[in-house]
A and B are shown apart, each in its own frame.
Chain A
């Protein structure tokens, strides 16, 4: 089944032509409405007229998360304020979040992209979608919510947390699809199996994203709940979940090329690499009204395949992500930068920001432990004072990251100092 067959199965020529036409219009719009890009283009000696089609994409400047931060909160918005219909935000590399904006049309494109994915997962009007992503500024909850509503399905806006209640309502309401992070899906699956409720739930599909996972994890999830599971990809800067998703053939994630032009770049030279070669994914949002971005560097490492898929769709497929070019971590679906931990520790007077983050996965849930060195000046020989200091640090970390961490005090100088950049993160998860 397809949601929008004419678009999803366009020939490569038609698709390139459409992308080129949309890119030309986008450049014109952005040049006149976003001073940041206009200056950038002028410095490069570029005029809107220089971009005549898809082949000219490489002439355009890149955009990074820093650009969004430098223009916080609405500096890159290309429409008058009254046309902004929604705002979302995700973690920034330091204190301030990365803010994104949507017009009514942007939200409708987003909904359609998600609806295409849900249809690809075999879902339709008669389905009930249990959305266990967090609702709020995070794009996961509302993204899947709007997409499922657009599809015409019944939406169950559960949000995250309270596993026991999730399972009871999933069963009572007869949910046929589950949308959440893969680790939370595994956690729910284990709880369902443990409670012996597998025969009582009606789930047939799970749409999981917002954090990296493996084929092995998907197989386990599918077997545990007797369902089909799909990988959905997205990032708030581009839109949110639904930028790409895999089909039942699981040969990569179809990226909706009529809205997003993908490029794979050599992370060192930033030159495009050939099909099948691994590099950093950059995306140009040709239809976005509120926040159109040229060649946004996602920092996600992947490769791309342009051949037509067995499912009949022609939109290119990006491979499962193999890492990042920056130090961002995704922990329990939340983007975390080590620099946020450092900034949080600076708020605690008694602590010097010497720390080491250890991310692990116990069962199916991510754990974060942060070792902080005991410094001479705040060292007390009273255990209760050290414990209250530990709790204080845990509190500021939770405030800064939005997720809980276990803080462990360690001896001075026990955290390894390396030459140059300190090693701040150990990720033990096998992904």
Chain B
């Protein structure tokens, strides 16, 4: 299924990332995975979090440009060539991957990707034997607080 990623626009200003993380922490939103892309003027923070709707709402209340993006998340076994196999299937089907990042998830890795056709990607990857994560697999249960 399609999962929701929390995306936040960040100006290149000292402490902005810290503010985002604090807002999420104060509201018990846990970050499962994140990626931070940068340009000379701004950055784009993309996260898998325990409660994306709540995360977006709290960030908006604090005047951040935050939105939810539909992405696909799959499990990839720790074996040489397994991610490549998944990409091959998407390429054969003519589906573009706009960006991707990965995180460790127990004994396997997980890859989050933004695709030109998320439904198509899910269908192809499921048929190809990949584990496509459900929301509950990604938005991990609330864990302890620092």
Contacts and interface: CB of A to CB of B under 8 A. Distances in A.
B107 interface: no
Contacts of B16: 411
Contact of B65 (A376, A383, A384, A387): A376
B22 to A, nearest CB: 16
A414 interface: yes
A414 B44 CA distance: 17
B42 A409 contact: yes
A128 to B, nearest CB: 44
A379 B39 contact: no
A382 B11 contact: no
Nearest to A408: B41
Contacts of A381: 5, 7, 9, 44, 46, 67, 69, 114
Nearest to B8: A381
A412 interface: yes
A281 interface: no
Nearest to B98: A382
Contacts of B41: 408-409
Contacts of A421: none
B69 A411 contact: no
Interface residues of A, number: 17
Interface in A357-379: 374-376, 379
Interface string A392-431: 0000000000000000111111100000000000000000
A374 B8 CA distance: 11
Interface in B66-96: 67, 69
B99 A411 contact: no
A379 B68 CA distance: 11
B54 to A, nearest CB: 17
Given A383-B37, A387-B39, A412 B65 contact: yes
B10 interface: yes
B63 interface: yes
Which has the most chain B C-beta neighbours within 10 Å: A375, A381, A383, A387? A381
A32 B102 CA distance: 80
B114 A379 contact: no
Contacts of A386: 39, 42, 44
Contacts of B46: 381
A5 B6 CA distance: 77
A376 B114 CA distance: 19
Given A382-B98, A382-B99, A409-B42, A376 B67 contact: yes
B113 to A, nearest CB: 12
A386 B38 CA distance: 12
Contacts of A375: 65
B44 A383 contact: yes
Contacts of B39: 383, 386-387
A408 B39 CA distance: 11
B103 interface: no
A411 B7 contact: no
Contact of A411 (B11, B98, B114): B11
A414 to B, nearest CB: 7
B114 A382 contact: yes
A379 B11 contact: no
Chain A to chain B: the 7 pairs with minimum beta-carbon distance, closest first: A381-B7, A413-B63, A374-B65, A379-B65, A381-B69, A408-B41, A411-B11
Interface of A: 374-376, 379, 381-384, 386-387, 408-414
Given A375-B65, A381-B67, A383-B44, 9 more contacts: A381-B7, A382-B99, A386-B39, A409-B41, A411-B11, A411-B64, A411-B65, A412-B64, A414-B63
5 contacts: A376-B67, A379-B67, A381-B114, A408-B42, A413-B63
